[in-house]
């Protein structure tokens, strides 16, 4: 748009930016600034709490790479995704998880809408409210996806309204994963994690040579046994000296929410989502323990990722264990997610569906 209102206060939005050659949309209000890479999956690349200058989104060491400018040196279905993984927040659908086939189509890691450009249309632009709608279509399946991001004046919470539509003539399964990665300096060894009472599942087998959790565990939040003996408290985030890499899953939540709180700064990150759709919360624990490609022991971050399904093998595995999302021909599934910043002290007892944090 050539004639956007270039306000300097209240809610603001602009789609007149590029970053490393990628169309980029910026939304902000008095409290938060959100940067979205429209040309790369409509990924949320940055989410900053402005009063405290806190960036929540993790940044990979290799950062943003423009796929149009790079020729992958191999055709490996995992490496191609990781080569362009900048951190932040991806919508991974219809095949959240590791590579496999989908109805005869070859699908890579977390394929396939987060590696392609999305259309971006500003739908609200006023000092009181800004909204932008992103839309894309899967390359290898008949799924279409839309998500509208909204900020209102005075609120630190971003609202996401998302719809997945099966435009095919046959019913299809899907795994829908909101791949949210949080990193330092917000993340530290003092950060606390809060979730509703739930069941914790550790990954069925070790995910790395530096995995510490006992595999195939099922038990109540928050204590989880370690393979070498003893147990760890999932509500307490280890520091980078932990040198571990593990995956786990939380399920059977009465409500879909989580909150990370750093007591040193008093700043937190909270997400609420519909637990009836996202029945699992994936917990990627990359505490500087991933060695070799692509981590090389230099990455300290975690992922807390609402997902429809268990575990991380993709659609075929989810169909086999009965956790795949079923989308009839011509029908849609819609969700609303709230995510953003909060401040305060004490223990978080709840995050409401609207994203309000209670201590």
User: For the whole model, what pTM was predicted?
Assistant: 0.97
Class for the domain spanning 12-358: mainly beta
Q: Write out the chain in H/E/C secondary structure.
A: CCCCCCCCCCCEEEEEEEECCEEEEEEECCCEEEEEECCCCCEEEEEEEHHHCEECECECCCCCCCHHHCCCCCCCCCHHHHHCCCECEEEECEECCCCEEECCEEECCCEEHHHCCCEEEEEEECCCEEEEEEEEECCCCCEEEEEEEEEECCCCEEEEEEEEEECCCCCEEEECEEEEEECCCCCCCCCEEECCCCEEEECCCCCCCCCCECCCCEEECCEEEECCCCEEECCECCCHHHCEEEEEEEECCCCEEEEEEECCCCEEEEEEECCCCCCEEEEEEEEECCCCCCCCCCCEEEEEEEECCCCCCCHHHHHHHCCCEEECCCCEEEEEEEEEEEECCCCCCEECCCCCEEC
Tens digit of each residue's pLDDT, the chain (359 residues): 678 888 999 999 999 999 999 999 999 999 999 999 999 999 999 999 999 999 999 999 999 999 889 888 888 999 999 999 999 999 999 999 999 998 999 999 999 999 999 999 999 999 999 999 999 999 999 999 999 999 999 999 999 999 999 999 999 999 999 999 999 999 999 999 999 999 999 999 999 999 999 999 999 999 999 999 999 999 999 999 999 999 999 999 999 999 999 999 999 999 999 999 999 999 999 999 999 999 999 999 999 999 999 999 999 999 999 999 999 999 999 999 999 999 999 999 999 999 999 99
pLDDT of residue 1: 66
Residue ranges of the domains in the chain?
12-358
């Amino acid at each position: 748009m050539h004639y956007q209102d270039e306000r300097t206060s209240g809610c603001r939005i602009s789609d007149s930016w590029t970053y490393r050659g990628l169309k980029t949309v910026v939304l902000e209000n008095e409290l938060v600034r959100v940067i979205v890479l429209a040309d790369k999956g409509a990924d949320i690349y940055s989410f900053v709490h402005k009063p405290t200058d806190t960036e929540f989104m993790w940044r990979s060491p290799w950062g943003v790479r423009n796929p149009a400018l790079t020729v992958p040196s191999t055709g490996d279905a995992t490496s191609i995704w990781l080569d362009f993984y900048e951190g932040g927040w991806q919508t991974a659908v219809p095949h959240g998880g590791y590579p496999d086939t989908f109805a005869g189509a070859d699908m890579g890691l977390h394929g396939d809408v987060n590696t392609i450009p999305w259309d971006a249309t500003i739908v609200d632009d006023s000092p009181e409210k800004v909204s932008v709608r992103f839309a894309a279509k899967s390359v290898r399946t008949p799924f279409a996806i839309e998500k509208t991001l909204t900020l209102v004046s005075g609120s630190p919470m971003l609202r996401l309204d998302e719809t997945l539509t099966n435009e095919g003539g046959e019913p299809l399964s899907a795994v829908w994963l909101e791949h949210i990665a949080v990193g330092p300096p917000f993340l530290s060894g003092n950060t606390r994690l809060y979730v509703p009472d739930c069941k914790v599942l550790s990954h069925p087998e070790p995910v790395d040579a530096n995995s510490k959790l006992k595999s195939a565990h099922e038990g109540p939040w928050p204590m989880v046994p370690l393979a070498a003996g003893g147990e760890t408290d999932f509500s307490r985030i280890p520091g980078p000296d932990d040198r571990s890499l593990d995956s786990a899953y939380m399920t059977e939540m009465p409500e879909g929410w989580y909150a990370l709180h750093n007591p040193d700064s008093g700043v937190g990150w909270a997400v609420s989502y519909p637990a009836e759709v996202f029945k699992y919360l994936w917990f990627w624990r990359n505490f500087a323990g991933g060695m070799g490609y692509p981590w090389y022991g230099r990455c300290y971050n975690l992922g807390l990722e609402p997902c429809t399904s268990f575990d991380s093998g993709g659609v075929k595995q989810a169909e086999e264990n009965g956790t795949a999302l079923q989308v009839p021909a011509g029908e849609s599934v819609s969700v609303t997610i709230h995510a953003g910043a909060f401040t305060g002290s004490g223990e978080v007892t709840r995050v409401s569906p609207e994203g309000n944090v209670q201590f």
